[in-house]
Amino acid sequence: MPTPRVCVLRAPGTNCDRETAFAFEKAGGAAERLHLFRLMENPDSLRDFEILCLPGGFSYGDDIGAGVVFASQFRTRLAAAIAEFLQRDTLVLGICNGFQVLLKAGLLPGGADSFRVASDAEPDATLTWNSSGRYTDQWVTLRNCSSSNVFLKDVNLLECPIAHAEGRIVVRDESVLSEWEKQGQIALRYTTASGELSPKKLIPPPANPNGSIWNIAGLGDPTGRVLGLMPHPERYLFATQHPQWTRKQLSGDGAGLKIFENAIGYFE
């Protein structure tokens, strides 16, 4: 297999594209930072890629809601190209603002299936204001709750930072949660530093930093080829990014790199 090609798609206001592209390159991929306007001019160019990544930032300023305008481009001008991309054996990763876009575009939680019907159906879930009402930057501990998600292969606990104001998952009807759980779609949950398992009961902050229902930090689609998460694994590529690397005497690579290696490894 040749080197997998990664499209790191940036819109006006995207700001984590450089380090996210760097993460894929470090993991062995060939990453291109593609501007959304270029893709809208030529949606077929998505055919050149195996992995689509929506990095963090404030697309369109998040002015009318986090990820809303970017998501609206997905549902309108890019709908056909995205649907075609999902039909192939491809991967999609949305980090922070990228996760907000995937969810609001209907590409999550159902992947290709929910994306197809997204414009007509009422969405099951949204990402909205943290219960604190404010933007927060802090480190969290995540537990992998999905055996099927490609990005999370061999990951158990993962530490990385969050940096957002609208990261709380809210659902229209709680019955959808068990459905997600059954399908392995609840990919990542916030947990305490010791990794304590508390799947459904809300863990108080700072462990669950935003009050997300069932402590959900990331969602996948039923095939495990799509992942959206609020925390930033691309901010833990090196040991020295860990807030306690001087205490724990860490060195070398950071654990967040694994997410990107799994994505590249999928195509080997």
Partner 1 sequence: MASAASGGHRLNGAIFLSGILNYYLQSCFALYLHTDPHMLWEVEIHPGSGEKDLDGAHVQHEVQLRGLESIRSVRAARSYLIEGELSDADLQKATRLLGDPVAEKTQVRKLPDNSTATNGTRLLNVLFKPGVTDNVGMTARDALKGIGLPAERVSICRKYWINADAQAEHVDRLSGRILSNDAIERVVEGPLTLTTLSIDSDYNFELRTVPIREMDDNALARLSKEGQLYLSLVEMQTIQRYFQELERDPTDIELETVAQTWSEHCSHKTLAGRIAYRDENGERRFENMLKETVFAATQTIRKSLGDGDWCVSVFKDNAGIVTFSETEDVCIKVETHNHPSALEPYGGANTGLGGVIRDPMGTGLGARPVCNTDVFCFAPPDTPYDAIPPGVLHPNTVMHGVVSGVRDYGNRMGIPTVNGAVYFDKRYLGNPLVYCGNVAMIPRGKSEKQVLNGDYIVAVGGRTGRDGIHGATFSSAELTHESEELSGGAVQIGNPITEKMILDVILEARDRGLYHAITDCGAGGFSSAVGEMGEESGAEVWLEKAPLKYAGLSYTEIWISEAQERMVLAVPPATWEEFRSLCESEGVEATVIGEFTDTHRLVLKYDGQQVGDLAMSFLHDGRPPVVREATWQPPQQTELNGADLGRMNFGETLKRILSSLNVCSKESIIRQYDHEVQAGSVIKPLVGIANDGPSDAAVVRPDLTSERGLVISCGMNPNYGDLDPYWMAACAIDEAVRNCVAVGADPRKIAILDNFCWGNTERPETLGSLVRAALGCHDVAIAFGTPFVSGKDSLNNEFTWSPDGESSETISIPPSLLITALGQVERVESCVTMDLKQPGNALLLVGETKQELGGSHFNLVHGLTGGAVPQVDLKGAPRVFSCLAEIIRRGLVRSCHDLSEGGLAVAVAEMAFAGGFGAEIDLEPVESVDDLTDIIELFSESNTRFLIEVSPRDIETIREVFVQGAAREPIPLGTVSQEQRLRIRRDGDRELIDESIADLKSAWQRPLAEF
Asked whether position 37 contacts partner 1 by CB under 8 A, the answer is yes
By C-beta, is 166 or 221 nearer to partner 1?
A: 166
By C-beta, is 245 or 267 nearer to partner 1?
A: 245
Asked whether position 29 contacts partner 1 by CB under 8 A, the answer is no
Which residues are CB-neighbours of 7 under 8 A, at least 6 positions away?
32, 34, 39, 46, 48, 49, 51, 52, 53
Asked whether position 194 contacts partner 1 by CB under 8 A, the answer is no
Q: Are strands 5-10 and 30-35 parallel, antiparallel or unpaired?
A: parallel
Asked whether position 159 contacts partner 1 by CB under 8 A, the answer is no
Q: Interacting stretch for partner 1, rule CB under 8 A, among 108-116, 135-143, 180-188, 258-266? A: 135-143
By C-beta, is 33 or 116 nearer to partner 1?
A: 33
Among 232, 259, 261, 263, binds partner 1 (CB under 8 A): 232
Question: Nearest-5° angle of CA 44, CA 46, CA 52?
Answer: 160
Q: Interacting stretch for partner 1, rule CB under 8 A, among 7-15, 143-151, 181-189, 215-223? A: 7-15
What is the identity of the amino acid at 28?
A: G
71 vs 51: CA distance, rounded Å:
18
In contact, 222 and 110? CB cutoff 8 Å: yes
Among 88, 172, 182, 200, binds partner 1 (CB under 8 A): 172
Which residues are CB-neighbours of 89 under 8 A, at least 6 positions away?
225
Catalytic residues: 96, 232, 234
